[in-house]
Structures are given as structure tokens and as C-alpha cells.
Amino acid sequence: MSVRRGPLLALALSVVMSAARQADGESVDAEAPDASSCHARHRCLSDAVCGGKHVCGIIWHSGSTIASGAEIAVDTCEAHGQSALFYGGWIIRDPGGFLFEWEAEVRYGGLLPSLGQVIMNLGCGVAESVSPWLTALVAYDPEGFNHLRLRDDDVFIPIGGKASIDKSAHATAMIDPKEGCGRPRAKVSIEVPRGPPLVYDNLRRGDSFVWGSHWVTVVHIVPPFMGFVGEIGWVEIKVSDGPLPHHH
């Protein structure tokens, strides 16, 4: 899939490179960081992304923020704000209504999906002027990434993270190393109450498998983007309301 990143990314990278030159001792005309900002050290990207039609907001530590009907929170901040552990979830209304939860480490500039939107991590830290607790700054639906939105009531398993349905059947995912140069394939591992995990490898778009008490189908596999700004990678999943397959 060709990823369109648009003029916003070019602007962000330009600002970031300017900040990098300044850090290396070069003289760069730039406005001094606002000391009252809870994310002053990350203003290079946040200034490029936030403002105007782009909506940014604070995610609270262990205090979920409601966005598009979903709960999102930040648990830990690592490497001087360069990555953060986010978690969240929402109630899937179709079929039947059940709780979906996820957890993933998101790098600075990384994107991940939530219910009805895409979220970009713009840095984390403690902002005494805002809260004595850990917070993270995020952008909702940054320009050029709307094509990464989940479809309808789809859920996702983050690459390197985990997800669960109804607080059980914890699932992890990785890109299958056997994918070669063709379409990406994924490997999904699901914990079970007794015995070794259920492992489904070589999964492609359209493949189905059992996740807990649900029959699910792979809708889309999004590999991690290894550049500065881009998706962390995930497997988009459609949950079916049909009966589970019979095993012989």
C-alpha cells in the first residue's frame, strides 16, 4: 500500500531538522520554547502538527481521556519522552457489545488507531503547570493519515503490544518474517487459560481464526513504518457474530 504523508510531514521534518541543527550548536532563528508548555522539548513537531484545523490534546496518566467514545491513557514515559506506553479500549457495539482493550508502546512521532480516528504521539513528561502527574501530548487525525483509520467496529492488535477481548484471550502480533517481498503477513499469538498459546502464523488479509470466544477475520495488516513520523504497525481485525467453527 502506498502511504501518502502529505505536506504536513514535510513541514514537520523541516522544523525537526532545524531543531537538530540548533542542538548541534548551529545558529537558527527560532522562537524560544515556552517554559510553561508541558512538552517544551517536543515543540518542533507539535508546532508543526497542532493548531489550525488539527486538534491536539493532553492524555492523562492512569486517567482515561474519552475520545470518539474510546478510553485512552498514558501509563509510562521512556527515554526522556521519546516513547510512551499507551493503553485504551472501547465497547464494541456490533456484535452484541463486548469490551476491547489494547496496550502499546508508541514512539515520539508514532501513530496508532483508535475508535474512529488516528492518534500521533507528540511527547510525554511531567508538566507541573498542568498536572503533577505524567501526561502525553497527542494529535488527533493528523493530516495525511486518515487512510489508517479502523473500519466501522473493527479492532486491532498492535505490533509489539497486546490486545484483549472481555479482559481475556490476550493477543500479541508481529509481522511474519516469511512475508518476503509480497503483501505483508502476520503472526498472532493468543493466550489460553490452560496450555500453550494458540499461534496463527502466515496470516494474510481475509484469513480467519478464533480469538477467545469470537470468530475474527484479518482486515488489514499495517507494517511498522521505520521513519521518523509514521505508524507503529498493527493487525486490523473484524469480529464476527457468527458461530465458532467446529474442531474435529
Length of the chain: 248
Q: State how far Cα 85 lies from the chain centre.
A: 10
Amino acid symbol at 92: I
Rounded mean pLDDT of the chain?
78
Nine cell digits for residue 164: 484483549
Grid coordinates belonging to 90: 472501547
Q: Is the pLDDT of residue 7 over 50?
A: no
Which amino acid appears at position 20 of this protein?
A: A
Model pLDDT for residues 65-76, shown as the tens digit of each residue: 777 889 999 999
pLDDT value of position 103: 97
What is the mean predicted confidence (pLDDT) over 126-140? 79
- Mean pLDDT within 154-182: 88
| Amino acid at position 22, single letter | Q
Pair 107, 168: CB distance under 8 Å: no
pLDDT at 66: 76
Residue 148 predicted with pLDDT over 60: yes
Q: Minimum mean pLDDT among 130-139, 142-151, 200-209: which range?
A: 130-139
Most confident of 5-9, 87-91, 243-247: 87-91
Sorted by sequence, the CB contacts under 8 Å of residue 122 that are 6+ apart come out as 39, 42, 45, 46, 49, 50, 56, 108, 109, 136, 137, 138, 139
Q: What percent of the chain has pLDDT above 70? A: 71
Of 28-32, 95-99, 191-195, 204-208, the poorest mean pLDDT is in 28-32
Q: Which residues are 138's β-sheet partners?
A: 57, 121
Q: Is the pLDDT of residue 124 over 90?
A: no
Q: How confident is the model at residue 243 (pLDDT cuts 50, 70, 90)?
A: low
Rounded average pLDDT over 164-189: 86
Q: Please tell me whether residue 31 adopts helix, strand or coil conformation.
A: coil
- Coil, helix or strand for 27? coil
Judged against a pLDDT cut of 90, whether residue 157 lies above it is answered with yes
Judge whether residue 62 has pLDDT over 80.
Answer: no
More confident residue, 185 or 27: 185
Q: What is the pLDDT of residue 9?
A: 41
Q: Which residue has the higher pLDDT, 145 or 65?
A: 145
Angle at 22 between CA 85 and CA 24, to 5 degrees: 85
Contact 157, 234 (CB under 8 A): yes
To the nearest whole percent, how much of the chain has pLDDT over 90?
Answer: 45
If you count DSSP H runs as helices and E runs as strands, how many of each does the chain have, helices first? 2, 17
Asked if residue 104 lies in contact with residue 224, where contact means CB atoms within 8 angstroms, the answer is no
Set of cell numbers at residue 21 = 541543527
In angstroms, the CA 109 to CA 181 distance is 26
- What value does the mean pLDDT take over residues 226-245? 85
167 pLDDT above the threshold of 80: yes
Bigger pLDDT: 186 vs 60: 186
